Structure 1
Amino acid sequence: MAAPDSVKPFSSEEVQRILHHLQQPAVFMNMTRDWPVLHWTAEHLSGCLGDKLVRFRLGRKEETNTPLFETQCSYVEATLAHFLSWTRGQAGTHVGPFLEYPKSEYWAYADYKYIAMLFQDQPSMFEDVKWSEFGFDGRNGRESTLWIGTEGANTPCHLDSYGCNLVLQVQGRKRWHLFPPDDTVNLYPTRIPYEESSVFSQVDVLHPDLRRFPAFQAVRPHIVTLQPGQVLYVPRHWWHYVESVDPITVSVNSWIELEVDDVARVSEAVTKAVVCAIKSTPSDDNTDDWLNPTEEGVPSHHENMQYVNLAVRASAQRQRGLCHSRLTRPVKRDSRGQIRTGSDLVGGSVPFSVPFGRHLAAVRCQQEDLPDARAVMTKGVEVSSDTAPRTELASAARLHQGRHECSLTQGRPPCDCADGLSEDSKGDYEEPIHTRITTNDLLDCLVHPDVIAHVTKLLVERHTGSHRTTPPSSL
């Protein structure tokens, strides 16, 4: 008879089918109870790594109305023993380079730590992570990253350009603020700081400046606090802001590309070429620290254009292959004679319903009815306690809105005046305020997702020759 811990609520095949149909973030419970990685506390990892230095990012705890990007943080190289001594309030040589950063003023985060590099001399540790049980054969800790932080440690709100994420919480709790892809316009995307695989939001989602970003009021946050042993699924292109809520947190993240997205690769290649070309050009207002520390360096324009050509060629070839397969592959129809789509064919013709319940919980939108959300979420997924972050967002919105003389409407400036004039507290109209357009302002417009999507379409059409007969669609 199988031991209780060996019985999983879903088989690897069932998980794959669930992931294929999930359209929103969800939390898997009781899938990792026998994974050795659950012993990877910060104390355990300190013993495994010994004197090995780890890079920590440090940020101030002070509240601002702007995101604290990684380019604005401080960095130290220290051992996990130094880190643990610092979190316990010790001083002197016990905390190493953390000595210059009072714990009362700073949080610390060891993020983006590739397990394959951290434990390259201890490869047996890779097997402690068993993503194969989620249907990804052969995937383990080698293809994962390790994240270790203190309370308040966070990553700015961003979306990942490629694939989806599976996140296992090991120690402590992390709160995830997730926003659907449709909220992109309300989150004011930016590519500065630049990171090839990420698009950042200009908004501090916990303390939004609604005078600058009025459309943020329309966002639909999905908030969940992830507990140890639980796995969060973050679908492709979902925005997320992550904060540690316990003194020490440890999590393991695996980024997974479920299918090759050549269009996304063309978009990223175009973005990279434009950003590097403009930001590498000396000018008086082009002096900011624009390259994210996770990037290894600035490639030459020649290298970037080679990347663009390779990506466009691959996308065009795949499109031609898809067209050919549609012409040659037999069409499958249902009992009514309707053509069956790919999603209908996964796992058979029977319609699939995601089995939400005690082992799988949907991360629901905080604007939905809370009793319904509580009915779906089970013990350990803190939906009820996550009404607090939602209330903070709402309170911040009301606070900032109360300071305005004119109402804020989605996508419009603070004053909806047809002539572009502003109204002062006395009801008199002032001349419009003209601000100087900076290099970053220009860049934000050039690499806006809508603009890049249109350029990508034109480049692929140009490569295939279809632009000769088909006029480009308007933006």
Structure 2
Amino acid sequence: MATVVGASGARDGGGGGGEGELIKPFTPEKAKEIIMSLQQPAVFCNMVFDWPAQHWNVTYLSKLLCGKQIRFRMGMKKTDTVPQFETMCSYVDATLEEFLAWSCDRGVNHAGPFTHYDNSKFWAYADYKYLASVFEDNTDVLQNVVWSDFGFPGRNGRESTLWIGSLGANTPCHLDCYGCNLVFQVQGRSSPLVLPSSIGPHLFIGVTYLGPHHYWKRWHLFPPQDTAFLYPTRIPYEESSVFSKVNVVNPDLKHFPQFLKAQRHMVTLYPGQVLFVPRHWWHYVESIDPITVSINSWIELEEDHQARVEEAITRMIVCALKGAEDPTDTKAWLNPTEVEGTSHEINCQYLNGAISAYLEHSKVAETLTPTEFKINGKHRVKSPLKKRKLDVCTRSKEKKSPNCTLATVTAKPEEKIPFGLDLIPVSPSLQDESSERGIDESDIKDVVKESGGREGNLNCAREQLVMNQAEMPLADNVVSDSTTCPSQPFISTDDLLDCLVDPKVIHLVAQLLLQKRT
């Protein structure tokens, strides 16, 4: 069953606070300690009730932007088994007023370019919008996002991105190669009403009813150890994003049978809550209400230095092979967000820049004691925010946040994590709830038949298929989605890339290159 987290408001203060005073359950130092040690997704509650950005619903943002156009990705509401990648979508430039008119059916006269899209068949998503660019003419509002409350001083809207979507808008399942992720779900302006705990089995004590203007997002998450079961691919190519070939809400189990072994975690994020997504956790995000608004920030980690070298190698290989395959058409394989050049010369500069940055950082790291290395200190090498839509060839020229330093993920005993009403872990979903997982029972039957089993033993088969990776022999980690006849083998460029840019291969190549330089 999916984790359903109640949208509790801030509680009356205790332990030194005056009567009725609102206090936060974690100090910045404690919040950061949790983030740096927690190895599973979790939801922070009651940490952002005083952020001015909690009022950033679409109506409020439309007034702040004063008719400024932003780009929306337009996708189809369909139940295809193929993921709807960004290369398959169309794009429109429109204002938030036009988006509101279209999503709320206020008439075609006010919907601008959205008039060409039926909102019963299409969704719209303004994703990956860096707030520093969105509010370039009004930079004061960037202070409305206060990540320093989570232990990252100096981090605000300048190191954050904005996401605005309509019902059905989604991000294909992927993992981020860099950093960990904090996601703030934005509240509407309606006054909350606290309902009694007896409202139902899915709501926690002190849940907040947000009226008709609530905005929800649902997250599907999978742990890093399930990577093989997600059938990773680098096509479409985007730096720092490894996509899954599987549509996780409607999987094709005939082509991707190993997906049944993946351990899904689900959570519905409510306004005023912050979701923590650890490093390399796979995630698929979907809007399940007419409008959703969220703000996120990728937290740089010590491991990002080598990850940037690995991404540079991946970039060079993908661009070389796919560019040679069809030099005139990059739209089929290059994500629209990758706007920089893809020439071999540029990619060589990119790779050399990443290696030089790694070696420079290593020299500094050698002078630090283990204690100094694991905490935010004055001697740490600073890094710009997560590369997702930025040109790393000019990384050394970028303006950096004065207090933005890297962090190291260090595992600590799980019992030290203060789970409770203010920090809620995202637990695995029940594996036998096929309808919630988007898995058709007939697909499971087909998998059982093909493996020589009997239909009468579906439950046993399902339990066998979803056992943890740690319980399986090493050979189970080798997966294949080949659908061609063995007697007529055909290896495409994408098949070759799946092997060449496999994370394990790229990691080894990166280490060999770095050894040459040292």
State TM-score, norm by structure 2: 0.74
Render the CA deviation track for 1:195-243: whole Å, top value 9, x for unaligned: 1121110100011111111111110111100000000000111100000
- Specify the alignment match of 2:351 in structure 1: 308
CA drift at 1:54: 1.1
CA distance in 2, matches of 1:48, 1:321: 43
Structure 1 segments unaligned to the other structure (5+ residues) = 330-341, 369-386, 423-430, 465-475
Out of 153, 159, 170, the position equivalent to 2:169 is: 153
Matches within 5 A, 1:365-444: 365-367=428-430, 391-393=435-437, 395-396=439-440, 398-404=441-447, 405-407=449-451, 432=486, 434-444=488-498
RMSD over aligned Cα atoms: 3.0
- Specify the alignment match of 2:102 in structure 1: 86
Amino acid across the alignment from 1:450: K
Native 8 Å contact 1:191 1:199 kept in 2: yes
Amino acid across the alignment from 1:235: P
Matches within 5 A, 1:116-135: 116-135=132-151
Render the CA deviation track for 1:277-327: whole Å, top value 9, x for unaligned: 112214499765211111112232122122222323443455566567679
CA distance in 2, matches of 1:23, 1:198: 20
Out of 21, 26, 38, the position equivalent to 1:22 is: 38
CA drift at 1:407: 2.2
Q: Which runs of 4+ in 1 moved over 3 A?
A: 1-6, 282-288, 313-327, 342-346, 408-415
Three-state SS of the structure 2 residue aligned to 1:45 is helix
Q: 1:3–1:196: structure 2 CA closer, same or farther, 3 Å change rule?
A: farther
Q: 1:47–1:326: structure 2 CA closer, same or farther, 3 Å change rule?
A: closer
Three-state SS of the structure 2 residue aligned to 1:156 is strand
| Correspondence 1:363 to 2:426 | yes
Native 8 Å contact 1:214 1:412 kept in 2: no
Q: 1:287–1:107: structure 2 CA closer, same or farther, 3 Å change rule?
A: same
Three-state SS of the structure 1 residue aligned to 2:307 is helix
Q: 1:325–1:87: structure 2 CA closer, same or farther, 3 Å change rule?
A: closer
CA distance in 2, matches of 1:343, 1:43: 38
- Specify the alignment match of 2:160 in structure 1: 144
**Percent identity of the aligned residues?**
51
Native 8 Å contact 2:92 2:113 kept in 1: yes
Structure 2 segments unaligned to the other structure (5+ residues) = 1-16, 188-214, 373-407, 453-464, 466-475
| Correspondence 1:181 to 2:224 | yes
Amino acid across the alignment from 2:423: L
Out of 196, 202, 205, the position equivalent to 2:248 is: 205
Three-state SS of the structure 1 residue aligned to 2:137 is coil
CA distance in 1, matches of 2:117, 2:128: 21
- Specify the alignment match of 2:112 in structure 1: 96
Where relative contact order (Cα < 8 A, 6+ residues apart) is larger, the structure is 2
Matches within 5 A, 1:32-71: 32-71=48-87
Native 8 Å contact 1:169 1:230 kept in 2: yes
- Specify the alignment match of 1:264 in structure 2: 307
Query: Which of the two has higher C-alpha Rg?
Result: 1
Three-state SS of the structure 2 residue aligned to 1:292 is coil
- Specify the alignment match of 1:112 in structure 2: 128
Amino acid across the alignment from 1:272: R
Instruction: Identify the range of structure 1 (256-265 vs 237-246) with the bigger mean alpha-carbon deviation.
Output: 256-265
Render the CA deviation track for 1:55-99: whole Å, top value 9, x for unaligned: 111111111111000010011111111111111223332111111
Three-state SS of the structure 2 residue aligned to 1:14 is helix
CA distance in 2, matches of 1:315, 1:132: 27
Q: 1:227–1:268: structure 2 CA closer, same or farther, 3 Å change rule?
A: same
Native 8 Å contact 1:187 1:201 kept in 2: yes
Native 8 Å contact 2:36 2:410 kept in 1: no
Q: 1:131–1:86: structure 2 CA closer, same or farther, 3 Å change rule?
A: same
CA distance in 2, matches of 1:68, 1:291: 14
Native 8 Å contact 1:12 1:135 kept in 2: yes
CA distance in 1, matches of 2:78, 2:72: 19
- Specify the alignment match of 2:277 in structure 1: 234
Aligned length: 416
| Correspondence 1:453 to 2:507 | yes
Amino acid across the alignment from 2:114: F
CA distance in 2, matches of 1:351, 1:441: 40
- Specify the alignment match of 1:274 in structure 2: 317
CA distance in 1, matches of 2:489, 2:180: 39
Q: 1:356–1:240: structure 2 CA closer, same or farther, 3 Å change rule?
A: same
Native 8 Å contact 2:144 2:156 kept in 1: yes
| Correspondence 1:8 to 2:71 | no
Native 8 Å contact 1:285 1:438 kept in 2: no
CA distance in 2, matches of 1:402, 1:233: 36
CA drift at 1:114: 1.0
Instruction: Identify the range of structure 1 (285-294 vs 263-272) with the bigger mean alpha-carbon deviation.
Output: 285-294
Three-state SS of the structure 1 residue aligned to 2:515 is helix
Three-state SS of the structure 2 residue aligned to 1:126 is helix
Q: 1:173–1:351: structure 2 CA closer, same or farther, 3 Å change rule?
A: closer
Out of 63, 78, 93, the position equivalent to 1:77 is: 93
Amino acid across the alignment from 2:262: V
